[in-house]
Structure 1
Amino acid sequence: MPSVKPRPPAPLYEQIRQLIVAALAAGEWRPGDALPSEAALAARFGASAGTVRRALDELTAANIVERRQGSGTFVATHAAPRQQFRFLRLVADDEARGFTRELLSCRRLRATADIARALGLRTSEPVIEVRRLLHRRERPVVLDELWLPERHFEGLSAEVIAAHPGTLYALFESRFGVHMVRAEEKLRAVAATPEAAALLRVPLAEPLLSVERLAYTYGDRPVELRRGLYHTSADHYLNELN
């Protein structure tokens, strides 16, 4: 039987990147906090400043940290203006900016098989379901449904959401210590159901864009499943490819 060759160790900068992410997951630095200087991190990890800089470059590219000229490196936060709509890619054709939010419901329920599978839960484990409309130009443009593991969001309620002035991701970050660092999306065209047509104020069977998003926190743990219906008659979905 042929022997299996051991996998070579990851490059040092990748090991340091993983150690920084582990420290973030453990809460050593919270969103918005400044990281130690490159020299301090180099001393901590026993590496050169150049190797630490390479690790921070990787984290910056992944939007986990951000560099601020003359100020240092900070943990990325959804409370920052340019991060608030990082995962919302609906762009107005008439350059209208911003959304208003209408909460439809927030309730506790048992995870269905597909929700449990996506979030790595047991079937029937408690989740929190949030339904809301996003409006632009005083018209609804997105019907959002999202599911969150209750064990990470205990105490989330309609009252808590209504009292928070910022985005949901900023609320999750500040109140529950859950920071969304990346997301995977699936898009397809669908026809508006009677309920969706009524809420989005469109004709029955109107074409809509269905966007299913699975968002992850540190350590690639899925912590939010979101399904949105987008009315794109006066908007388009923007995806920047590098």
Structure 2
Amino acid sequence: MSSVLPSPEPAGGPAAVAPSFSPLYQQIKALITRSLQGGEWKPGEPIPSETELAQRFKVSQGTVRKAIDELATENLLVRRQGKGTFVATHAEEKVQFRFLRLIPDEGEAGNMPRRFLDCRRLRAPADVAKALEIKSGEPVVQVRRLLYFRDRPVVLDDIWLVGAQFKGLTAERLSELRAPLYRLFESEFGVRMIRAEEKIRAVAASGASAQLLEVPEGAPLLSVERLSYTYGNRPVEWRRGLYDTTTHFYRNELN
């Protein structure tokens, strides 16, 4: 990889428009992210030391450290005391539950048993295509599942995935799955969820959802619509979840 070079001075005198300025550590962050996206360092693997990266990019170690600090804050990298810095993976418990914000009133958040109801490939409806930024009619995978807490259904998820990136995902494969769903996406399809945006509103349970969640029709539910992105700010998953919060609450940390 080439070293980081300063941007050329704008030509054309005072009337010329200067290019937007990007701090050096942000440029290093972009280069490290590009290596992560390209698979140079796999999930769970260590990245080179700050000294090695500083030599590689011909910048100071402090600049590299600042770039890594931001990537760690964004959960792309994980620092381990005395061991180094590693590529974050959905195999780690801390990362597994980063996208699951439903917390029981009593006890701690953890892995919730699940039951897959459906998995099929179909042409993307217009609303799904718009969310995933693909053309209407392109292939998508639809997954429907229930999450349980103490043998009672708590979450009904409808998940839509970009079909081109999830070839081979079938109901049979999901029925064999023991790991978290995002870990499967990462290990078998090379798709890592980096960030997500959510829209939350209160809704009343319809007849079908009430039956699946075992609540009375019209019971209050929390509707959580999530759009998840991988590297390059590309949306790859759109899910619409209905949450029964009778024994749970939705927790978010604001920094």
What is the TM-score when the length of structure 2 is the normalising length?
0.92
State the superposition RMSD in angstroms. Answer: 1.2
Task: Give the corresponding residue for 1:174.
Answer: 187
Q: Bigger shift: 202-211 or 23-32?
A: 23-32
Task: Give the corresponding residue for 1:223.
Answer: 236
Task: Give the corresponding residue for 1:49.
Answer: 61
Gap runs ≥5 in structure 2? 1-13
Q: Bigger shift: 62-71 or 94-103?
A: 94-103
Gap runs ≥5 in structure 1? none
Q: Which amino acid aligns with 1:38?
A: E
Q: 1:103 aligns with which of 98, 116, 128?
A: 116
Task: Give the corresponding residue for 1:24.
Answer: 36
Q: Which amino acid aligns with 2:64?
A: V
In 2, Cα distance between equivalents of 1:230 and 1:28: 38
Q: Which amino acid aligns with 2:103?
A: V
Residue aligned with 2:199, SS: strand
Q: How does 1:132-151 map to 2 (within 5 A)?
A: 132-151=145-164
Residue aligned with 1:30, SS: coil
Question: How big is the shift at 1:162?
Answer: 2.0
If asked which structure has higher relative contact order (CA below 8 Å, sep 6+), I would say 1
Distance 1:28 1:192, change over 3 A: same
What is the TM-score when the length of structure 1 is the normalising length?
0.97
Question: How big is the shift at 1:139?
Answer: 0.2
Percentage of pairs with the same residue: 57
Q: 2:140 aligns with which of 127, 131, 155?
A: 127
Q: How does 1:147-226 map to 2 (within 5 A)?
A: 147-226=160-239
Task: Give the corresponding residue for 1:69.
Answer: 81
Question: How big is the shift at 1:3?
Answer: 4.8
In 2, Cα distance between equivalents of 1:187 and 1:4: 46
- 1:240 matched to 2:253? The reply is yes
Tell me how many residue pairs correspond in the alignment. 241
Question: How big is the shift at 1:9?
Answer: 2.8
CA contact (8 A) 1:134 1:141 kept: yes
Larger radius of gyration between Structure 1 and Structure 2: 2
CA contact (8 A) 1:34 1:73 kept: yes
Task: Give the corresponding residue for 2:90.
Answer: 78
In 2, Cα distance between equivalents of 1:217 and 1:194: 35
Q: Deviations over 1:136-177 (max 9, x none)?
A: 010000000111111111100112122221111000000001
